[in-house]
Structure 1
Amino acid sequence: MRLHEFYEPIASPRQNPLLAVLPCVDYARLLPDFQLVRLPVGESIYEINAPIARLHFPTDCIAVSLHKLKNGASVTTSATGSEGMVGISCIPGSQNALAPVVVLSEGSAFQIKAALLKKEFQCGGNFHRLLLRFTVALLTQTEQIAVGNCHNNIEQRLSHFLLIIVDRHPHDELYTTHEQVAIFLAVRREGISMATKKLEAIGAVRCRRGHITVCNRREWEELAGEGYAAVAKEYRRLHEYQKILAETILYIAMRTNVHISLCKKGK
C-alpha cells in the first residue's frame, strides 16, 4: 500500500492529511505558526529524553525512531512519512522524546510549537479523532516490528522494513546502503548483503551501490509475511478515515459557500 501517492507534492501544511481535516477557521488561525523546514538525511529531529518543543508534519521526508542500546547497537521501531506526525508521544503528556528520531529520506516538513498543537488536540473534533487513529496505526507498526525482530529471519525483517519505507517514498528506488540498513535493523552489514542477494535471486529487488529498486512487490509482501500485512491493513483504515473526513469537510465548505451566495442574492 503506497501512502505517499495519495497526496499532491505541494508546499502546504494541507498536504499532510492530519492537517487537511482541520476546519478552515482553525487552519487559518494556526497557519502563521507553521514553519517549512528542509530535513537532510541523518538530521536528528529529537534526541532521547530531550524536550519536545516542536512537532513535525512531513510532506515528503521520512523519519524513523532509532533506539540506541548501551552496547552501541541500534534498531528502528517505526517510520513516519507524509501520512502522519513526528513527536506523537508529546500529545498524551510526555514532555520529552522517548527515543531518538532521525531523517531516513530527505525532504520537507512543517513544524509547529508543541503547545499549540496540544491545545488543538484537546478541543476535540476531526483533528483529535484522526490523530488517535494515526496513533493506533503507529502502535501497530511498532508492535509488528518488535514481533518480527524476535521471530523473523533477516530476509523477512529486511523485506518488512523496506516495504514500510517504500510505502512512504514517492519512487520505487531507495537511496541507501547496506551499512545504513544494517544499522536500522541492528544486524551485521554482511547479513544485509546476503539477504539482498537472495531477494535479487527471486527477482524481488535490483541492487546497485547506494540504491535498492523494487522489481516485484508481491514477492516482497510474501516474504514480509503477516506482520507487514497487519501494518498495511491498519494504515488502509487510517487512509479511508482520512478520505471520509476530507470529503465531509469539502461538502460542508461547498454548502457554506452556496448558502453565503444565496444570502447575498437575497439582499
Structure 2
Amino acid sequence: MMHCSAFAVFLGEGAKERLQKSLPRVERHRRRVLASNDGADFGEPSELREAELAIAVLFLDGDGGLPAVHGPLFNGRENPSGEFSFLDLEEGSILAGRDLLGTRPLYASRDGKSLASDHRFLSSSQEERLLLPPGTSYRASDASVKTRLLGMVNTPDSMASAASELAGLIESSVRRRVEGERLVAVSFSGGLDSSIVAFCAARHSDVILCGVYSHGSRDEKQSRSIAEKLGLPMVSRALTPQDIRRFSASSQTSSSEATSSTCGRWRREESSRRRR
C-alpha cells in the first residue's frame, strides 16, 4: 500500500489536458504519473496517451502503487486512526473513498470526470467541484462516478458522552504515539490543542515543550505561563524577520517550520549532552 500526500484521477476525453492544467497548482510536490487507456493497468508509469477513456493518476510524495491512501502511517501499521481517503482498482475500475468521519477530503468535478484528495487538482471555482460526503466510496466506470455508502458514524447520546468519548480517543491516540519513548518533544503554543496533547503525553513519557514566538507578541509569555501551570519544561525561539522571509519563500508556515527546527536543535543538543 502506498501512502501519499495527495492523489488525483482524470477520466475520459481531455484527461491529459486537465492533468496538465492542474500541475502548476501543485508544482512544489514530487510527482509520479501512471496512465492507462482502459483503466486496468497501473503497474508501471507510462506517458499519457490520447484515448477516449484515458485515465491519468497523479501521486504526490509517495512511493509504490495502488492501492494508495492519503492518510498517516503509524509505526508502520496501516492507518489505525481511521483518517484516510483512498484510491484503488476494483474489477478494472477506479475505486475511491473517504473515511467515515470525513477527516480527509475527497473531491469530484461536477461532470464526474475528475477525482482528487487535494482540491488544487480541480478547477479553482468552488462551483465546479464537490466535496464528497464522508463514509462513501466512488466507482469510476465508463467515465462516470457512482456512489455507494460505506457506513455511518453513530452520534453520541449527549454532549457529556461525546466529551467523554473524545477525551478517551485523544488519550488513547497520544498514548500510542509516545508509549515506549523515554523523552518526547511536543510542539507547543500554549493554546488548548497543544496543551491537551502535552498533558496527555506527559502521563506516558517525559516531555519537553518546544515553541516559537515573534518579539512583542503575547505568545512568548502565554506559552511559558501555560507550560509552568502544566509543570513541564520548555525551550523556545524568537522568530526574526529573516526567518519569516525564508519560510515564506519556501511556501512553509513560519511557526510550524520554526517549531520543528527548535525541537530538532534541542534534540541534537540533548543527545550531545547525554554522550558527555
- The answer to whether the superposition gives a TM-score over 0.5 is no
Normalising by the smaller structure, the TM-score range is under 0.3
Name the structure where helix makes up a greater proportion of residues.
1
TM-score, normalising length: structure 2? 0.26
Q: Name whichever structure is richer in strand by fraction.
A: 2
- TM-score w.r.t. the length of structure 1 is 0.27
Q: Larger Cα Rg: Structure 1 or Structure 2?
A: 2
Higher RCO (CA 8 Å, separation ≥ 6 residues): 1
